Structure 1
């Protein structure tokens, strides 16, 4: 199997590449992974190929699966107007390049997995949200929605699309947890605002496991001449018969910020007395503070319905098994 990954060297793409390589080697299956990059000199493992966006436009190489993960971190910087434009462009431009390749190649991929985030649902408090839930309009929703709608255009070329709406990914190597470990280990970690906001998280191991599961399920269904849509409620309405499936990549046990704070502090054997007031968070981060103050209770119904078994379904288990 040949897999092309945009954002392959990132926090998720690199972990996915390592895990699926190990699995396929263990089963003596052929696998070749190519990272799409703007810099041909980018560091990469020996078993990974590199391809620049310029070469992709004229490449005759074929891929069975495309994994579209490129995009600047939404929580990395304050949301100025320029930052909002950069966040959108970092997602739209790579996706447009992939669509151009799909349109031009004679051998169409069997599946496009395209990244998104649970921000698509907007701010909805502690209301349980599944893949069939509606949304509230805010910047995070608009960003995710525009990205998703562009990716879905791959269906016009007969390529099935799986949209993965990712929650807060937990792993000590990066992401939110990577940023929090230092202050928590110093004993100055604490809850945000009133701590009641719900955090929909997933361990990086389960994110990778779920992505591999989605690939294998979709390819197996195509081999059996079945639609790759898990259920009707989970299918986007499109103008052709090519399936589009939504998956929430979150653990089945979301927690409040208060519970997250206490669980991480307990795991690290550190106190968690501090609280960052809502007013201070808004002053520090402006509009982006919504990511910290307003929760979302997003559940992985489509994954559960499809039979995925979470390896780390609880936060404490994720912290322990990932050696945080």
Structure 2
């Protein structure tokens, strides 16, 4: 297959590009600078510019574009950037996919769609929550409509925390936990939907291949855990103690508004994947963390 990927140079995109090529697929990368390689196509999502004729003979599109949620402290300007970078890139690729007749668009969105659900279990049938990131996810998913309206099969992944030492949730935790000064956050009772990186990559391949999957899909492991359990397992994987809890007020000072999202409890389960027979390679957190911490 020929797969076009946006955000190919990012944390998830780097791993996905490597996996797809290892699996024998051709990958076309969307880049914002002038294309200078045969596997590159230039686009400008901020202006809605992507030539659909450059995407002929593409079998699938995967959208991973968007500014990092935790790259900087939130203010109104950066919150607009978070929204615009996702909505504009999604709409631009969705329109191009419609124009080029690409059969399937996989849009990697956020598990924050559900907002703070407390101890309540949620699946793909549940409505969006009420928070900045929940509102962002609703607009993000809505931007796929040009492709869906044109008959493209659209899969809207709601991604948990993909676990790998090179980025995402784990990378900023490596130093404090490695020094033995990591700990649970604000009591550690909030639920965390996580997924092994290898399983996340397999989910993308799975939903591309399955013509009977469309709409929202929770890309998370079947067993979300509380932050306290995650903290204990992470410390054990590093062979370090986890005796330095971080109180909520300290997080609010450090992260500002982002702290409320960081402490949101999302007990999301992957009903669609389980119903469709997806097999997890790392369904247990301890095994996923062991794999995530391997040095290659």
**What range is the shorter-chain TM-score in?**
over 0.9
1:22 aligned residue: 22
1:162-221: per-residue Cα shift (whole Å, max 9, x none)?
A: 000001111111111011111111111111101111111111111101110111112xxx
Number of equivalenced pairs: 289
2:255 aligned residue: 285
1:127 aligned residue (113, 120, 132): 120
2:237 aligned residue (267, 271, 276): 267
**Does residue 320 of structure 1 match 2:290?**
yes
Matches within 5 A, 1:183-262: 183-218=176-211, 228-229=212-213, 244-262=214-232
Query: Counterparts of 1:22 and 1:51 in 2: how far apart (Å)?
Result: 21
Runs of at least 5 residues in structure 1 that lack an aligned partner in the other structure: 25-30, 219-227, 230-243
1:51 aligned residue: 41
User: Conserved in 1, the CA contact under 8 Å of 2:95 and 2:147?
Assistant: no
User: Conserved in 2, the CA contact under 8 Å of 1:192 and 1:292?
Assistant: no
Runs of at least 5 residues in structure 2 that lack an aligned partner in the other structure: none
1:74 aligned residue (69, 78, 83): 69
Q: CA RMSD in A?
A: 1.8
User: Conserved in 2, the CA contact under 8 Å of 1:57 and 1:97?
Assistant: no
Query: Counterparts of 2:15 and 2:28 in 1: how far apart (Å)?
Result: 14
Query: Counterparts of 2:35 and 2:144 in 1: how far apart (Å)?
Result: 28
1:88 Cα deviation after fit: 0.8
2:280 aligned residue: 310
Q: TM-score, normalised by structure 2?
A: 0.92
1:56 Cα deviation after fit: 3.4
1:286 Cα deviation after fit: 1.9
1:2-50: per-residue Cα shift (whole Å, max 9, x none)?
A: 11111111111121121122123xxxxxx321110102378xxx8x711
Query: Counterparts of 1:100 and 1:136 in 2: how far apart (Å)?
Result: 27
Q: TM-score, normalised by structure 1?
A: 0.85
1:60 Cα deviation after fit: 4.1
1:284 Cα deviation after fit: 2.0
1:234 aligned residue: none
1:153 Cα deviation after fit: 2.5
Query: Counterparts of 2:97 and 2:192 in 1: how far apart (Å)?
Result: 36
Matched residue of 2:120: which SS? Answer: strand
1:103 Cα deviation after fit: 4.2
1:9 aligned residue: 9
Question: Kindly tell me: are residues 284 and 321 of structure 1, through their superposed partners in 2, closer, same or farther at Cα, counting changes over 3 Å?
Answer: closer
Structure with larger Rg: 1
1:93 aligned residue (88, 91, 102): 88
1:284-307: per-residue Cα shift (whole Å, max 9, x none)?
A: 212211232221101011001111
